[in-house]
Amino acid sequence: MAGDIPGKLTDSDSAGRTGTIGLLKTLNRDELLEVLSQGFCQHCEALLEERIHQLLSKRGSESTVTSDITLISNPVTGKQLARTPPPPAANSDILLNDGLGGSGSTSSDNGLSEEQKEHIRFSQVVRKKDFVHMEKINGKSMNVLKGLELHTKVFNAEEQKKIIECVYNLQRMGQKGQLRERTYSEPRKWMRGKGRVTIQFGCCYNYAVDKNGNPPGILREEEVDPLPPLFKQMIKRMVRWHVLPTMCVPNSCIVNIYNEGDCIPPHIDHHDFLRPFCTVSFLTQCNILFGSSLKIVSPGEFSGPVSIPLPVGSVLILNGNGADIAKHCVPAVPGKRISITFRRMDESKLPYNFLPDPELSRIKPFIVSPSSAPQGHHQKPVINSSFVKAMVQQNQHRNDQAIKDKPDREATKTTKNDSFLCGNDDFPPLGKASKGASR
């Protein structure tokens, strides 16, 4: 009703709301959670989150974070912290520099130090490491997905927004010629699936034999721009949170900016880059296909035995068989999408003028206690029934068998240099943006 004070009960609705409150008081905690977890429209859900955030802010520095599961002990301070993640709105102020640039003693509006916030954020990361798809390679059964990992909730909504803004700013700089020539490429979209924008940092990678006769791989004599500061923060986050190992810290990356219908055809990443490497996804969820044999159905459309959804803000790790035996591709995306693939160059393939970044040489992983390990950490799934336990044991047995049945060395050699398999025109040429290219 016009003129009513926001947040106040009016005479016309106080009776109805009192009845609702009375009903809510009769429910236990689990029943309340069930009521509040479904059936809301997008507007009501956002309003509910905002009110919860306001209540949490009012608790002040003496407040504690409640949990629906259990409380965990901070390995540094010994204080009790919540295992269950806070509401998304309260989570949005935990930014990329948490736990990386401060001593952990600074308090924020919700009363938690940077170190405590990072502990909560780290504990809510979900990790899936049990991908299995058995195929016969050279007559031997093998799990071609072994080595794949999917880490979700690594970057929250606020962080994703900052990264996306950074990418679009880099694209504008590339269109204006403010980046080095081989850094930015925006070819004409001459058919469905072709023409995605690419921005390379750290090294210039040549997708196919170029006009000078250079084969696919890192062009050591070419120079591109160094990694942007925000991208280095992303690398620190992933290494610190045990998403990437300390022995393979990325020193290069490629940004892909997709419009609806753009794709990446089947390929195996070149061995000028070490394993593991990773891809971070933004804007639109899409699927990535895996398999030792992937088929081209039509322009931008492919088929394969395994399809893995890539949620926004997630990190897909490619290693082992998942990087070297199975090919992968991204079919035509349903909407605008950004991906950033971080890779470490082989020391023997570094550009001649490349200088290591000291900022990326001092990253220390976050201390993990058994009680604070994220879901799926160390590849130990939570087993809730004898049936699930039996399935896990069966998969483990198959994986163990696959380890014994390693492919012949010659089979590995055939995939090592099998870079991009669909022809020279399936990837954009390197160089300046084409004249008239649109965003």
- Residue identified by tokens 């009375």 is 22
E strand or H helix at 156: none
| pLDDT tens-place string over residues 239-252 | 999 999 999 999 99
Residue 32 has pLDDT above 50, yes or no: yes
The pLDDT score that the predictor gives to residue 53 is 59
E strand or H helix at 59: none
CA–CA gap between residue 148 and residue 12 (Å, rounded): 58
Average pLDDT, the chain: 75
Residue 7 has pLDDT above 50, yes or no: no
Cβ count within 10 A of residue 433:
20
The pLDDT score that the predictor gives to residue 351 is 97
| pLDDT tens-place string over residues 380-404 | 333 334 443 444 455 455 555 554 5
Residue of higher predicted confidence among 339 and 1: 339
- Contact status, residue 182 vs residue 224, Cβ threshold 8 Å: yes
Residue 216 has pLDDT above 60, yes or no: yes
The pLDDT score that the predictor gives to residue 54 is 61
The residue-averaged pLDDT of 139-149 equals 97
| pLDDT tens-place string over residues 77-119 | 444 444 444 444 334 344 554 433 333 334 444 678 888 888 8
CA–CA gap between residue 91 and residue 85 (Å, rounded): 8
In residues, how long is the chain? 439
Tokens of 422: 């669909």
What confidence tier does 366 reach under pLDDT thresholds 50, 70, 90? confident
User: What is the percent of the chain where pLDDT is above 90?
Assistant: 50
The residue-averaged pLDDT of 33-38 equals 65
What confidence tier does 43 reach under pLDDT thresholds 50, 70, 90? low
| pLDDT tens-place string over residues 258-316 | 999 999 999 999 999 999 999 999 999 999 999 999 999 998 899 999 999 999 999 99
Which domains does the chain show, CATH number per domain?
126-345 (2.60.120.590)
Four-residue CA torsion sign, 238, 154, 279, 159: negative
- Contacts of residue 264, defined as CB under 8 A and 6 or more positions apart, other chains included, come to 196, 256, 329, 330
CA–CA gap between residue 172 and residue 167 (Å, rounded): 9
Residue 59 has pLDDT above 70, yes or no: no
The pLDDT score that the predictor gives to residue 5 is 41
Note the pTM of the prediction, 2 decimals.
0.65
CA–CA gap between residue 45 and residue 349 (Å, rounded): 51
* C-alpha closest to that of 151 among 65, 237, 220, 73: 237
The pLDDT score that the predictor gives to residue 393 is 53
- Contact status, residue 238 vs residue 278, Cβ threshold 8 Å: yes
Tokens of 230: 């925000």
